Amino acid sequence: MTTTNPAPTFSGTDTVLNPASGEVAGEVHWTDASDVQGIATGLRAAQREWERRGAKSRAKVLSRFAIWLGDNRDEIEKLLIAETGKSSTDAAQEVPLLIMILSYVIKVMDEAMAPETRPASLPMMRIKKVAIHFRPRPVVGVIAPWNYPVANALMDAIGALAAGCAVLLKPSEQTPLTAELLSQGWKAAGGPDVFAVVQGAREVAEAVIDNSDYVQFTGSTGTGRKVAERAASRLLPYSLELGGKDPMIVCEDADIDLAAHAAVWGAMFNAGQTCVSVERVYVLDAVYDKFVAAVVRDVEALEMGSGEGKHFGSLISDAQLAIAERHVNEAVAAGARALTGGKRAAGPGAFFEPTVLVDVDHSMACMTEETFGPTLPIMKVSSVDEAIRLANDSVYGLSASVFSRDVARAKDIALQLDCGAVNVNDVISNLMCTTAPMGGWKTSGIGARFGGVDGIRKFCRQETVVAPRTNVGAGGNYYHNSLKALARMNGLMTRMALARPRRTAK
């Protein structure tokens, strides 16, 4: 039985298989890359009316879409499991996350799109009214990954639609089916023709970049570089959420059971296929043995399998499984020990046993390269300073976590870690904080998603309008004035501008 999808043709129609069972999940009709320009042109035309509706009117459409997601959650999750091999536990997270994001965006989008006034920089400029207007970019291209094909398809698209943009979505070619269902849901909720899905691989993704006014990409660092290069050739703005190798630090005063539970869930959820999953752990030597024992206990209780009653499902493909397999095999060959798992599961499907690795170090790929699989390498350290140094010894910088009963101490450690977000006594929770930006440092990305009203404004161009309060003073520097009048004006400007520096310098 074939359990992974055969090489697609990317023309006509292909069958999509469940990577856990090999059963047919559905069929996808691939988009011809030459058709993307016409689709984008249609979106661009529809976007003008969508923008003119205003934030309050758009909020009503987004509210109806949120209700549709809730009403059709079971159907969405059934298809999600079929095309990814997820467990029901994994699949159950995506629709609620989107509804949560929609609920927040609906609440703040009117504020986000309202013009913002700015004060005068100097007393002499008080004769002017300064306002910043947020004008949506016509077409936002969203290139989404396969690990969360529902959540990642829409978590950025929601902000763009709220801003008044049209969205051109290209889901991963490995998980094309749920995007089509979401598109149907948008129409069923009364959404206008400002949301379109195109299906394909590299050529279609390139066409999306070439026909968009902003690109949001989520995926690997390698592909992110290619997206940035193509976007840069058009001076096109973009935001990239890329790979991670997220560290966890467990201090000697940590709640060990809590830390172990968090590490196992953070590493194994969605079979480890999460950008902010726990990919490496540094534990102070005083509690190392106790922590490892608690982790092994928790991992041995996990049930792996697709669908109902399982903790986590299959990997997306044999290719992804091979990465986890290589990292584990190379580590063991170099002296590491696998306390659980360590190999591909018997039987059909792209399943890899949940694996706890110890006696690891930074010479091993399992500690330096993104695994994106159900593995948990744990390293003993002698001090917090060593843990911080090792945590920062990475090309990635997406997120991290610190466990200590002393929250103030944990916050201090957090501010020494080179990454976009740190969770104290928790993991992955920053992904739920839509009021705060989610972005990576170093090769983990450029820009951020979410961030309160900024998560909507990121899809806009800023337009400054400077209007007079009065005509008094207008034209003081125009050429029609005498040279003596211009000299007096420039002298006055200089004296007024220097007033604050002189006071501050004393």
Which is catalytic among the residues 241, 279, 369, 370? 241
Q: 218 CB contacts (<8 Å, ≥6 apart)?
A: 143, 144, 145, 152, 156, 240, 241, 242, 275
Which tokens hold the place of 59? 């909020």
Query: If DSSP codes are grouped into helix, strand and coil, which group holds residue 421?
Result: strand
Question: CA nearest 296: which of 259, 260, 247?
Answer: 260
d(CA 388, CA 382): 11
Question: CA nearest 200: which of 256, 143, 153?
Answer: 143
Question: CA nearest 170: which of 193, 195, 194, 187?
Answer: 195
Query: Which residue's entry shows tokens 């959420």?
Result: 241
Q: Are strands 445-446 and 238-241 parallel, antiparallel or unpaired?
A: antiparallel
- Burial of 420: CB neighbours in 10 Å, binned 0-12, 13-18, 19+: buried
Is 241 among the residues known to form the active site? yes
Question: CA nearest 70: which of 25, 107, 100?
Answer: 100
Q: Which residues form the catalytic set? A: 241
